[in-house]
């Protein structure tokens, strides 16, 4: 019943947001007074191709999921001059409720990262963009807000930890410890990242939520052991548009963290909606802070 209610809440909240232009301020959800961290605009052209710089590589591959019982597709970004003789940290980057393993390409993560590397602003990393809908049919079709679809996003926690991470570690030259693993995502993927990242502190040192959706658990569920959180987590970073109807989910967690003296960042993107303008900004900043 508890899981059903979570899915029902998500469907109701998303429907409310999409029923209004831009989702309306907090989409009718309670507004939480919270102290936002300073917004600093990204430089012009951060998400545009730059001539004459080294470029990373986008590949699509498949892995066997024992959790789902199928072969699943995943998109991967390898940094410029990927070298099998070196080890790389890994960022798992999750999509939204209507997307799949290709959705993040709308946010040009390869271009953003290539530009960061060219300016020496980020450490070389592998970015893994999976399909966060862990179902035999994982295509975003039919009623994408239905309970079965939402359930697939919950099941993905096991697929991620038990199947995808071991696959990536076996196929690519990566570090395998918690300190070199990060997770972040947009909307539904933002909620997943907070749920899975904070729920598995032994697996993820860096956690990011961009416009996190109502699948985000209550703060008390996300952080039941504050001492463990402070010891294991190296970064909890969030961003959400000021006009995004889902701001409530991020501000609630920020308020909880501030009250309990847990390091946490929440940027309010000025006049930001629920879109890739905000999410690209999120990746640009988050990538510079991890590893």
pLDDT digits (tens, 9 = 90+) for 96-121: 999 999 999 999 999 999 999 999 99
Higher pLDDT, 198 or 17: 198
Average pLDDT, the chain: 92
Inform me whether the pLDDT recorded for 168 exceeds 90.
yes
Inform me whether the pLDDT recorded for 19 exceeds 80.
no
Inform me whether the pLDDT recorded for 35 exceeds 70.
yes
Which residue pairs, CB below 8 angstroms and at least 24 apart, start in 196-203? 196/156, 196/157, 196/160, 196/161, 198/222, 198/223, 198/229, 198/233, 198/236, 199/157, 200/157, 200/161, 201/228, 201/229, 201/232, 201/233, 202/178, 202/232, 203/161, 203/165, 203/178
> Would you tell me how many other CB atoms lie within 10 Å of the CB of residue 46?
20
**What is the model's pLDDT at position 69?**
98
Comparing 148-157, 171-180, 189-198, 266-275, the range with the smallest average pLDDT is 148-157
Inform me whether the pLDDT recorded for 77 exceeds 80.
yes
* pLDDT over 70, % of the chain: 90
DSSP 107-148: G-HHHHHHHHHHTT-S---EEEEE----SSS-SS-S-TTSHH
Higher pLDDT, 20 or 92: 92
Q: How confident is the model at residue 12 (pLDDT cuts 50, 70, 90)?
A: very low
Inform me whether the pLDDT recorded for 21 exceeds 70.
no
Nearest to 142 by CA among 134, 150, 131: 150
Taking the domain 2-289, which CATH number applies?
A: 3.40.50.1820
Q: How confident is the model at residue 9 (pLDDT cuts 50, 70, 90)?
A: very low
pLDDT digits (tens, 9 = 90+) for 181-204: 999 999 999 999 999 999 999 999
Read off the pTM.
0.92
**What is the model's pLDDT at position 28?**
57
Q: If you average pLDDT over residues 123-140, what whole number do you get? A: 97
How far is residue 186's CA from residue 236's CA, in Å, rounded to a whole number?
Answer: 14
């Amino acid at each position: 019943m508890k899981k059903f209610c979570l899915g029902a809440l998500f469907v109701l909240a998303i429907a409310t947001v999409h029923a209004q232009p831009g989702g309306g301020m907090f989409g009718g959800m309670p507004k939480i007074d919270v102290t936002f961290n300073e917004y600093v605009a990204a430089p012009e052209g951060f998400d545009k191709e730059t001539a004459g710089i080294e470029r990373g590589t986008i590949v699509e591959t498949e892995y066997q999921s024992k959790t789902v019982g199928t072969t699943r597709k995943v998109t991967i970004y390898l940094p410029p001059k990927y070298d099998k003789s070196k080890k790389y940290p890994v960022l798992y980057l999750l999509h939204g409720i209507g997307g799949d393993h290709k959705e993040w390409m709308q946010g040009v993560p390869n271009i953003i990262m290539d530009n960061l590397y060219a300016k020496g602003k980020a450490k070389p990393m592998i970015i893994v963009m999976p399909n966060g809908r862990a179902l035999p049919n994982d295509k975003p079709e039919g009623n994408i807000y239905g309970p079965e679809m939402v359930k697939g996003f919950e099941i993905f926690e096991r697929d991620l930890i038990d199947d995808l991470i071991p696959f990536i570690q076996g196929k690519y030259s990566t570090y395998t410890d918690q300190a070199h693993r990060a997770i972040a995502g947009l909307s539904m993927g933002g909620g997943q990242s907070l749920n899975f990242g904070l729920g598995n502190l032994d697996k993820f040192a860096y956690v990011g939520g961009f416009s996190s959706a109502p699948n985000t658990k209550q703060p008390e569920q996300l952080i039941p052991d504050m001492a463990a959180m402070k010891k294991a987590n190296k970064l909890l970073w969030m961003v959400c548009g000021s006009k995004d109807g889902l701001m409530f989910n991020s501000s609630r967690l920020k308020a909880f963290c501030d009250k309990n003296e847990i390091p946490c960042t929440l940027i309010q993107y000025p006049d930001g909606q629920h879109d890739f303008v905000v999410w690209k900004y999120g990746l640009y900043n988050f990538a510079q802070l991890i590893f």
